[in-house]
Amino acid sequence: MNITVYLGANKGNDPKLASEVQRLGTWIGENGHDLVYGGSLNGLMGILAKAVKDSGGKVTGVEPQFFIDAGFLYEDIDELIITEDMSERKKKMIELGDAFIAFPGGTGTLEEIAEVMAKVSLRHLDAPCILYDLDDYYEGLRMQLEKMKEKGLSTKERQSGIFFANDLEEIEAILKER
């Protein structure tokens, strides 16, 4: 399975982020899955890719040329897909993914997973969209989705492919059901 993971190019200030993303990468590689991600060597992105590689998994990086020019490319990946811009990158990462995980990240992570959420809710994409809610990172988003249903602007059916997982075991359970 190709698992597309969105996450930060920064490490953040909580050491648990690095250890949990390494655990996720190890799980992806050891379970015969392949990683699709943004291609960066920096921050959580680099830790994830290295953990997948070290565990025998294949890593595909999808990176805009301007990030490569800035020296952000993680060179020890199996496949590099160079895009012209971020819009093309998002499209390609969605095209390649069989499942989607948003690990804690910044505004770019939020923007990328929001597009996946919209495609899942419109049934333009039949794949699990998982928000890795490590230490309630995505609690505000969970509350917003509930408010959308409460106000009649979304439905349980529309959000049926969107999942919140508190840990790797919950992610694994969601993926096994699919």
CB neighbour burial string for 27-55, b if at least 16 within 10 angstroms, e if fewer: bbbeeebbbbbbbbbbbbbbbbbbbbbeb
What pLDDT is attached to residue 149?
A: 97
- Domains present along the chain, CATH in parentheses: 2-173 (3.40.50.450)
Q: Is the dihedral of CA 167, 86, 160, 59 positive or negative?
A: negative
What pLDDT is attached to residue 129?
A: 98
Mean pLDDT of the chain: 96
How far is the C-alpha of 131 from the C-alpha of 102, rounded, in Å? 5
Q: Model pTM?
A: 0.95
Q: Can you give 74-112 as a three-state secondary structure string?
A: CCCCCEEEEECCHHHHHHHHHHHCCEEEECCCCHHHHHH
How far is the C-alpha of 45 from the C-alpha of 9, rounded, in Å? 5
Q: Using alpha carbons, list the distances in angstroms from residue 90 to 82, 109, 157, 161, 174.
A: 12, 11, 25, 19, 23
Find out whether 71 and 93 touch, Cβ atoms under 8 Å.
no
pLDDT in tens, the chain (178 residues): 999 999 999 999 999 999 999 999 999 999 999 999 999 999 999 999 999 999 999 999 999 999 888 888 888 899 999 999 999 999 999 999 999 999 999 999 999 999 999 999 999 999 999 999 999 999 999 999 999 999 999 999 999 999 999 999 999 999 998 7
> 101-115 pLDDT, tens per residue?
999 999 999 999 999
